[in-house]
Amino acid sequence: MKKIMGFLALVVISTGAALYFELIPTTPTCCAMEAEDEIGGLISPVAYQTEFEERTHLLLDVRTPPEFYEGYISGALNIPLQELPNRLSELPQDQPIVIYCRSGNRSAEAWRILRNAGYRLIYDMGGIIDWTSQGFPVERS
């Protein structure tokens, strides 16, 4: 009887674990460009340099203007996160958008805003802290 109960418990646990992992939503990641109809995902500063060096895209900084002027990635457009929902018309629908902030929290929120607004090729590069810690340059105004 103990063997049967142990076997049944194992079956129930295994089935539950399989269903659990099947239902967990995954965050897409990027290291190779996805098809044009797919949503992008996370991208590291190194992958950004490799993937977008010669590819048309928009680099979006969602920090506040004072943070932006302290140091930003060359070519970035600054639209603070709190203004983003009202300024979507400034963003292209037909090219990839790579988003960053200071530490990665606001860029993740901006990624969700753009995804919910129907943008498909959107990439979250996290924070400028990661960018500078890997030795990449910033510009100052």
CA distance 61 to 90: 13
Q: What is the pLDDT of residue 85?
A: 98
114: number of CA atoms within 13 Å, CB side? Answer: 33
Query: What is the structure's pLDDT at 99?
Result: 98
* Domains of the chain, start order: 28-133 (3.40.250.10)
Residues catalogued as catalytic: 101
Contact 123, 129 (CB under 8 A): no
pTM of the predicted model as reported, rounded to 2 decimal places: 0.74
What own/partner pairs with CB < 8 Å and gap ≥ 24 does 37-43 have? 37/120, 38/120, 38/121, 39/115, 39/120, 39/121, 39/122, 40/96, 40/120, 40/121, 40/122, 40/123, 40/124, 41/123, 41/124, 42/123, 42/124, 42/125, 42/126, 43/98, 43/123, 43/124, 43/125
Instruction: Give the chain's residues under pLDDT 70.
Output: 1-38
pLDDT digits (tens, 9 = 90+) for 41-69: 999 999 999 999 889 999 999 999 999 99
CA distance 27 to 126: 14
Residue 53's pLDDT is: 87
Model confidence over 8-20: pLDDT tens digits? 555 555 555 444 4
pLDDT at 34: 42
